[in-house]
Structure 1
């Protein structure tokens, strides 16, 4: 069974939230204090408890209503036939009035045929769905041992019990008799031991003896409680699934006894809060891919184990992962659920599953998604064509204050926060810059981000087009052919040619740059393809040579060629650092200014809505 969607009414700050889920992994992203962890709390209450607390009500005069839509498999359709709607789905409404002792349940059917709602059957479905909540505040050392029947220790204990019950296991303790005798004699010198008849003895229960002997060790032969937190928490998450299956196993066994098929699937929904807390990026992705294989029944080792231990054929698995880490996201936008604030300040969600893009756009995005991931955590995104632009814009942004111009005379306390910034870097505004690695990907990336309710501006090179304006509302076009031409023309127009030369020479002192341009490239000379050509005989011009050309257009071409031969983020950053604020090309100044103002405006409106609601 899969949870397809949920609708929330009157719960904390999630009133009006509606989410459609992917059938496998789902990653919930969004800013802090927007309600992501609240959502996992909600699922915990609905599936594993029977009432909300008074603090859970957004409006205490109204009930909390949670509408869940499930898609059962064929076996589950038979099992819950009385709950099915005409489309083969199960729609459950959970209502809780303040002061009541438990939920009121109902089934929403498009075609009821006189069916009556069976509360017991609904509760059984919710419990059988097996929602497992994991959060990083758990203490692994309290669970990752065999003798404490707590958390995943319960599974480790279960594992030992199952094996002992099938074998005649004995431990030889006669060799301990001498040690035991001396220990008893030593402790009898203490009054409490004499007064209360206390003495040391050996556990008679074989299972208890074995559980005390066993421990988990890492590859360095350290007990797991002394291993790194990354190892502990990765192990804890996986074992938590198995611990949860212990209770499901007895249900499956009971139902299997009455069924011609000895093995049955089990539904499980994992709710995981910030698993990245103790994991470096590689381990984050590795853990997520492993969990994906588990819930999709593609990990043969896990399948073999649950068949052997629990007589469970497979999992109908699903996971909801709350994260603040781009590294943990997989390369598929359809697995992303983004929480955001609408214009009224309400928390809403966009599900990647529901985003429809044409085939060409999807191909672009799958190729670039590794670079797009971080933008899903931003308020605003600037999409550029290449690497040099990224480096330059991030530095230029520090020189472009959003509060100058028409905002500078406003008496607004909210804007004063931005005025007081030591630096105008983009992170303060929640703005990120991403390279589309080509003109063709700028528009698809902007389209995807817009569908995720992330404001976005793109800038593309004019190339050979005669049109320097875009018909797209959120797309800028350079005035000249490309970034390099834009920069050179801008500096020449401002009589900063000498500054351009000095900036390039200064950058060459910091990093390796190609500083020579062949004569054929520089002057556009064409040679006869029938004639032999020796590249070693061709003249190469240095930046000093270029600066001495009499023709201004030749000098421009020379500088442009040098810039084009050195397209890197590092070179872009150096260009951004070494140029002054008034030397930034207008088109890039404008896009930075618009992005910052839009971010401020959004935050200002949200703050006003929050203040109005108080």
Structure 2
């Protein structure tokens, strides 16, 4: 179960925005103050059935209206819908400023029909604004006591011995609620049993990942134990009768407390749990709650390229248009030919930083990349201050593909090609430039010679040749011939 798309009207600075989501994990990127955290606030208001307050309205004279579509895939939500209905359902939340709570509607081709607002409670929402262990303090101690009894019974049935590595994990923190620590101990015994966990992470990192599992487990326990909803009404059934619990998880700025490697490890653990890839956690759910898995979707807000997945289809970039209105570019909606798609995914790790930029300069190779930053300094242009991202495409064939991707993300992009490929890549618009000479290096050499700066060129040659002799090697000459399209016999010796 996942949210396919959402249209937001009149909510804070998200006055008219349409978002399309990937079915498992979505990363919100962009500059500061474009509404990334506002979306997480909105998700919390919707899932917890809270009302909008006056400051949430962009225009108090208009209603806040949220349209969204939920997909159940091949599953049937028996407690909420009939079995012959389709796999997607469109809902609408609407509230005017005078109302305390929003109204919920189901939208069909025939029109709209009111629904009880309590229906929203049939999905579990887990909001982790703090990826450290601090959020463990917000869970009542009584929950740890009750959950601990279930975990203790589960551990005793497994009859698994506690090894030295597990004892080391538990002994690292003594300031948490003792019942909370007991739960972490049980989870360590259950979820870190494989030697792979010990090899991959330090004891401190394993304990932090176990804290993530405990937070999710505790919130599932509170949800299924709540008097507002019974467990049966929360579940989704597939055609074979397997039971799943819908869950939406949001994580805000994991980089605040975690190293780059741990950011990826923790977010990947969230994803594994939400998509039923962690067998130990699945076994725990089956035993304690008698459910077969989760139907989860993740929403991550981050300013860290280290946290991003290496696939543009999971990225949602928020930005402001020329009218200062917030807009969204959603990678899941992009359609590229298969060959281009594979190329972009392969090169995306090198280009992730550009998603936070105001504009991009794409160059062909190392020489241009090494020169442009110094060129900017000479002109008094600080690339970081102005949000200019310089990207080395590592070959002219990658420039056009990367430029298409960044244009789809609505990032102004300028490309610089060598003149020798001008016929291959026609100048389609004003943001494509070519060198004056056959290549960037030739531009540089021509300028130095025209300015009678031969000594600078000789110094550069001396610096780049291994044996420090100011001579052109055969290999350098061969590559030069190939670039100029001439043969050795055409060279006149001097």
Mark yes or no: TM-score above 0.5: yes
Query: How many residue pairs align between the two structures?
Result: 448
* TM-score, normalised via structure 1 length: 0.65
- The answer for the alignment partner of 1:305 in structure 2 is 284
Alpha-carbon shift at residue 478 of structure 1 (Å): 1.9
- The answer for the alignment partner of 1:325 in structure 2 is 304
Cα separation, 2, equivalents of 1:143 and 1:163: 17
Alpha-carbon shift at residue 441 of structure 1 (Å): 0.6
Cα separation, 2, equivalents of 1:442 and 1:32: 28
Alpha-carbon shift at residue 387 of structure 1 (Å): 2.2
1:521-579 Cα shifts (integer Å, max 9, x gaps): 638999xxxxxxxxxxxxxxxxxxxxxxxxx9879xxxxxxxxxxxxxxxxxxxxxxxx
Question: How do residues 192-271 of structure 1 correspond to structure 2 at under 5 angstroms?
Answer: 211=179, 214=182, 234-250=209-225, 251-252=230-231, 263-271=242-250
User: Tell me, which stretches of 5 or more residues in structure 1 are unaligned?
Assistant: 145-149, 169-208, 220-226, 402-423, 527-551, 556-614
- The answer for the alignment partner of 1:127 in structure 2 is 121
Q: Answer with 449-458 or 298-307: which moved more.
A: 298-307
Question: How do residues 130-529 of structure 1 correspond to structure 2 at under 5 angstroms?
Answer: 130-136=124-130, 140-141=133-134, 143=136, 150-151=138-139, 156-163=144-151, 211=179, 214=182, 234-250=209-225, 251-252=230-231, 263-401=242-380, 424-463=381-420, 470-505=427-462, 517-519=472-474, 522=477
1:9-32 Cα shifts (integer Å, max 9, x gaps): 111111101101110100000100
- The answer for the alignment partner of 1:10 in structure 2 is 10
Cα separation, 2, equivalents of 1:356 and 1:243: 40
1:127/1:483 Cα in 2 relative to 1: closer, same or farther (>3 Å)?
same
- The answer for the alignment partner of 1:117 in structure 2 is 114
- The answer for the alignment partner of 1:531 in structure 2 is none
Cα separation, 1, equivalents of 2:126 and 2:407: 33
Cα separation, 2, equivalents of 1:22 and 1:343: 27
1:264/1:167 Cα in 2 relative to 1: closer, same or farther (>3 Å)?
closer
- The answer for the alignment partner of 1:586 in structure 2 is none
Cα separation, 1, equivalents of 2:24 and 2:14: 23
User: Tell me, which stretches of 5 or more residues in structure 2 are unaligned?
Assistant: 157-176, 193-201, 482-490
- The answer for the alignment partner of 1:610 in structure 2 is none
Cα separation, 2, equivalents of 1:554 and 1:469: 36
Cα separation, 1, equivalents of 2:281 and 2:180: 26
What secondary structure does 1:429 align onto?
coil
Asked whether the equivalents of residues 385 and 438 of structure 1 are also in contact (C-alpha less than 8 Å), the reply is yes
1:313-372 Cα shifts (integer Å, max 9, x gaps): 111110010010111111111000000001110111111011111222212211101101
What secondary structure does 2:268 align onto?
helix
Once superposed, what is the RMSD of the aligned Cα atoms? 3.8
Asked whether the equivalents of residues 265 and 313 of structure 1 are also in contact (C-alpha less than 8 Å), the reply is yes
Cα separation, 2, equivalents of 1:161 and 1:515: 78
Asked whether the equivalents of residues 107 and 113 of structure 2 are also in contact (C-alpha less than 8 Å), the reply is no
Asked whether the equivalents of residues 234 and 246 of structure 2 are also in contact (C-alpha less than 8 Å), the reply is no
Cα separation, 1, equivalents of 2:478 and 2:105: 79
Alpha-carbon shift at residue 231 of structure 1 (Å): 6.8
